[in-house]
């Protein structure tokens, strides 16, 4: 049991939840404009799901993300910690969440979760935008027991009463200490650390990661809806680029076409820095400079994903800048496509997570040797040096247990072949880089390719590129 020694009248939930900085007439919404955000009961259900797998007499603690500095007085746009967002829907910094296994009873109050958030502050909101405040967290996110983050330091919590206290250990080096704020993330973490059992006997820094991975690897219907929207936007972006690409363009102009569609269709961000590499850069796996001028002999690898309401797509297509694959390019492309098709066939419930990867390897190993690109089959790793799959969700490389595939898993299948200049093979293959990636939902009896809304057959790619439609 948890003991709050300092809960007195001015800390009671009915008082603490009042937001006196703005009065009662202006309740702030998480988002004033989007109508398809996940509802509060989704996040409540996720907290309940976590509670069911917590051991007896335990609690889990989660911190929001920090505001990260880009340079001088310019910060990066805030992005919430995915675990915190998954459990709360709260998209602001300087917050802490407690999830208890059992109900805690203090006087007439009975609760199994608490959240501390930043209060309304009209002077700060004038500069940085509206905050939810306590009333917003209560009314829009469904928390009954919410407190100002400034009050956390004075909450006397006896964490030694628990058999297990779960939390994530992370590096605090990038968290700025606001000397004027008692409720900033730096202070929340400091005061939490001070409240821990001094013997550290009941602290567990490992199992919470596994528990959250087990939950997040199985997508709820509401999550799949948002993932499908992110994927639909990304497909439109890829299709627009196919119709617009031509020699003389730069990689950054191709990037602009893609990300223009992201924004036009309502995505908040790219889910990751767009990888748009032509020619020799197609052979760099995570190339993001995107500055090269493209020539008609280049292949362009376009690995991009829109992020929509927190959920990210991840789709790769490889396109010939000239609009036509050369003979060598088509051979390599078809090897990768064949490998991907075999990998996708292995995406069924009951198979091991890495089975699609193993199926893709068999094809690439066989075909590279068949065309004399490798001298023995084991040399395939020179040209295919990564795995085919990762989970997809709130993170583009989402968390999961990498065990057996089951209904509700969403993963990528993305084999590739990369033959940089100077490779130990005929120079006619040099600077050919191909990757094809799709997003796959594991269903009850098989799978659904969520990203089949943009073509990958080489003939279809050439046909759509011949249309040369100006982006909308």
How far is it, in rounded angstroms, from Cα 279 to Cα 462?
A: 18
Active-site position among 92, 259, 307, 314: 314
Beta strands in 118-170 (DSSP E): 146-148, 164-166
How far is it, in rounded angstroms, from Cα 223 to Cα 395?
A: 12
418 is catalytic: yes
Active-site position among 303, 355, 438, 439: 303
- Within 13 Å and on the Cβ side, how many CA atoms surround 333? 22
Neighbours of 126 (CB within 10 A): 9
Active-site position among 131, 367, 390, 447: 390
438 is catalytic: no
Between the two ends of the chain, the Cα-to-Cα distance in Å is 59
251 is catalytic: no
Active-site position among 286, 421, 424, 472: 286
Active-site position among 56, 70, 73, 327: 73
How far is it, in rounded angstroms, from Cα 6 to Cα 192?
A: 15
Active-site position among 391, 418, 438, 439: 418
How far is it, in rounded angstroms, from Cα 178 to Cα 180?
A: 5
Tabulate helix, strand, coil % of the chain (nearest 5): 35, 20, 45
How far is it, in rounded angstroms, from Cα 248 to Cα 449?
A: 34
Distance of CA 315 to the CA centre of its chain: 14
Q: Which residues neighbour 103 within 8 Å (Cβ) at sequence distance 6 or greater?
A: 110, 111, 112
435 is catalytic: yes
Q: Is residue 307 a contact partner of residue 273, using CB atoms and an 8 Å limit?
A: no
How far is it, in rounded angstroms, from Cα 461 to Cα 457?
A: 6
225 is catalytic: no
Active-site position among 371, 386, 395, 402: 386
191 is catalytic: no
Active-site position among 92, 184, 414, 439: 414
314 is catalytic: yes
Active-site position among 437, 438, 439, 462: 437
Q: Which residues pair with 276 in a beta bridge?
A: 302
128 is catalytic: no
Residue from 29, 177, 20 nearest 94 by CA: 177
How far is it, in rounded angstroms, from Cα 394 to Cα 310?
A: 6
How far is it, in rounded angstroms, from Cα 191 to Cα 471?
A: 53
Active-site position among 11, 182, 225, 397: 397
Active-site position among 223, 435, 439, 447: 435
Please state, in angstroms and as integers, the Cα–Cα distance from residue 462 to each residue in 255, 261, 290, 458, 472, following that order: 20, 21, 23, 6, 20
Residue from 272, 262, 270 nearest 241 by CA: 262
Q: Which residues are catalytic?
A: 73, 286, 303, 314, 386, 390, 397, 414, 418, 435, 437
């Amino acid at each position: 049991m948890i003991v709050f020694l300092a809960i007195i009248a001015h800390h009671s939930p009915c008082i603490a939840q009042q937001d006196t900085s703005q009065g009662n007439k202006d309740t702030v919404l998480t988002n004033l404009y989007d109508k398809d955000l996940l509802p509060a009961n989704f996040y409540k259900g996720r907290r309940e799901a976590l509670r069911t797998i917590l051991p007896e007499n335990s609690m889990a603690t989660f911190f929001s993300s920090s505001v990260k500095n880009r340079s001088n007085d310019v910060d990066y746009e805030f992005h919430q910690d995915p675990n915190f967002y998954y459990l709360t829907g709260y998209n602001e910094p300087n917050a802490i969440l407690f999830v208890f296994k059992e109900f805690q009873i203090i006087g007439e109050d009975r609760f199994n979760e608490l959240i501390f958030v930043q209060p309304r502050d009209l002077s700060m909101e004038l500069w940085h935008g509206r905050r939810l405040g306590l009333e917003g967290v209560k009314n829009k996110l469904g928390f009954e027991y919410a407190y100002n983050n400034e009050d956390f330091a004075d909450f006397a919590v006896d964490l030694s009463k628990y058999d297990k206290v779960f939390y994530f250990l992370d590096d605090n080096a990038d968290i700025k200490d606001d000397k004027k704020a008692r409720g900033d993330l730096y202070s929340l973490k400091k005061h939490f650390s001070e409240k821990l059992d001094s013997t550290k006997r009941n602290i567990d820094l490992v199992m919470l990661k596994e528990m959250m991975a087990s939950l997040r690897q199985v997508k709820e219907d509401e999550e799949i809806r948002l993932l499908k929207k992110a994927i639909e936007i990304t497909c439109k972006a890829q299709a627009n680029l196919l119709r617009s690409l031509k020699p003389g363009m730069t990689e950054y102009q191709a990037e602009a076409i893609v990300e223009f569609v992201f924004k036009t269709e309502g995505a908040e961000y790219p889910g990751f820095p767009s990888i748009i590499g032509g020619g020799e850069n197609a052979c760099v796996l995570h190339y993001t400079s995107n500055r090269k001028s493209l020539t008609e002999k280049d292949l362009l690898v376009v690995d991009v994903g829109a992020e929509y309401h927190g959920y990210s797509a991840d789709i790769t297509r490889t396109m010939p800048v000239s609009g036509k694959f050369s003979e060598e390019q088509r051979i390599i492309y078809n090897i990768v496509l064949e490998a991907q098709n075999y990998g996708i066939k292995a995406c069924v419930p009951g198979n091991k997570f890495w089975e699609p990867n193993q199926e893709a390897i068999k094809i690439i190993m066989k075909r590279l040797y068949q065309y004399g690109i490798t001298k023995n089959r084991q040399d395939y790793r020179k040209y295919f040096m990564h795995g085919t799959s990762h989970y997809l969700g709130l993170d583009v490389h989402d968390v999961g247990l990498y065990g057996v595939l089951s209904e509700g898993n969403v993963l990528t299948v993305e084999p590739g072949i990369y033959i940089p200049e100077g490779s130990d093979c005929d120079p006619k293959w040099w600077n050919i880089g191909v990757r094809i990636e799709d997003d796959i939902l594991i269903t009850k009896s098989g799978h659904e390719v969520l990203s089949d809304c943009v073509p990958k057959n080489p003939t279809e790619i050439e046909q759509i590129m011949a249309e040369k439609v100006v982006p909308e």
